[in-house]
Structure 1
């Protein structure tokens, strides 16, 4: 998708410090590109080793982190709130998700910015990832033993705080560690890990009776996997403080970028916002759809959600790594983002019309094919259009707002949509956002 002149960044560039502040890094020396702009003309043996480590370590770490968060998000939160207040469980879930997403909205870009500035012997990213794992588990503990809805809100907010402490630096490791021509492969495995985490998380959940073990065991397993996976990575290290002082203005700048100066980043942001809205619509309200539209009981819901996400995983496996590989091979990103967005929208549209569990399973398969392929190629596209300003953590944090914002807005509007047109109408709304996201990527100009 890229010609040589289309690249405005490289893994080596993004490992650089904020301007004017030298540091030693674990990143490779800059990699030159060949005529295709994708495969470097020469890569050092050290960089090849880093690519190989990243190919396994970063996706595995993402798998662990997402298992820890997806288990409560997909099933446990809904079931816990149903146990506490069955009559208002859907409304309470929207409240919990909205407040938690607001925390994520604030924390993610700030953490990315602070990790760019971190001076630690462990590196820039690892301290945030490790501390985030601990904080997230504290939040899970609070939810597991919550006696009331308000403590679930507190617990989920703590969980989102820790989760985003870890997420922003973990995503920043992609441009930090991976050479340009290898990003599609790593990004596709990250996407695969993100999506398979839903299956693995719900598998663990349905092994246990409704109660605290449904949250504690999957979360603990996921966070242990996260920590162990990150250990082999040689993190970027800053040895001197950044020239720019940290103040209120610089903190505020963590949330913004200039869309006129960086229009491709802006359109990539819009694309991700729309497709995450599609994804979040499908996952967050699936449990209630299964119970309210298909008539399954609370005790049956966890198993049915697991089976549906298993079909979703099948779709992911059919497309994710292939799309990432094909994107690198052909040098194209936009056609794959467009196609995957439309397939995801189709899946959610069929889901909305599902009158039986069998139709739901087919819809989930299409949804998985679309979202898995989208996230694989989109992450590579985003890494390629980042500004070459040496602030990968901050810039990716801004992009991650597009991931957090739908999680804040959807719970606010979802109850009104459901009250008016039911869960099918909610899913059709999510499908429409998928179509818009596919069209938005066509406005990106620096890549093909």
Structure 2
């Protein structure tokens, strides 16, 4: 770590709380300071000293084509020349919406917002407005943005009890959020008995990927579909991460399970700030201006995000998904083999869980719920992160974050990774 990086972080801490605009960027618990990056290209990101890193953060998921894909860059340049914010109706959101709706059979209408958090906030309000009920079931280990009612952790009492996991969240908000463990079908049944006709919706990441990568059995997701239908509650799939990444239609497509509401983000904007809510026309028409559920946004459907998203998604063909999964397997096999042998097996406790183009480095197989995660995960991961960082391989700086592979991580990049790890292919 150089004085330049350290000085920038010191300056940042005088201007910004904790020196960062999102907590995970802070390198908390690491024996080094955050890296400040100035540019990116393809699978690589360059810091302010021009050191080149293989990037597996990929802006935490949106950049499925890699940095500065030529077609996306061209679309954004053309968009800039027309104007970058109107605060009025424009055709670019219609083009993106029409393209998406033609390929997402579980969605009839969309509304664009500015972030995944905003999409979740709107989806919850919409579910309550449609059902006339207040309570929401969520699962321990699923992250749904920093909405008050989603910053909730499991309480110490019976299944379903909850308490705020952040200061500033009122007790009354926590009271209407019911927490269960992933896979707890009996707890779900009991929740619907204990709160009969009070539960508006169940919300879940159908592929939990923001507290580790905890792949859920299809049978559990189908159970959620069945129990919500039986109790006239709604099922919300939060596909902000999994949408367009594991398949074009996300986990709804992979599993064949149709949610009532889906939240989208990240890839849908091609790397620009964006979010979206999708559902049937009946549900969506509860939103203002024709319905009584209010939602608005000055920058919603920003024209640059719309053209960036459309140009990105047009590149995602079935062949693209096959290719990116193949590259993910090559890369994770390389990393796994290196971890077994590095420094007399210093990191041989780690496994790599993968799903499509996502991967998670964790010292255990078959992690499907919070209780499965080893207590010493962060301690071991931090050592690994720093070794890889020194070799110019950039992971998300937190043990619970997943890695993202892009289409830019081609065989040339794989060979470069091998070189950085001193592995002969």
Higher strand share: 2
More helix by share: 1
TM-score by length of structure 1 reads 0.24
TM-score (norm 2): 0.25
Higher relative contact order (CA 8 A, sep 6+): 1
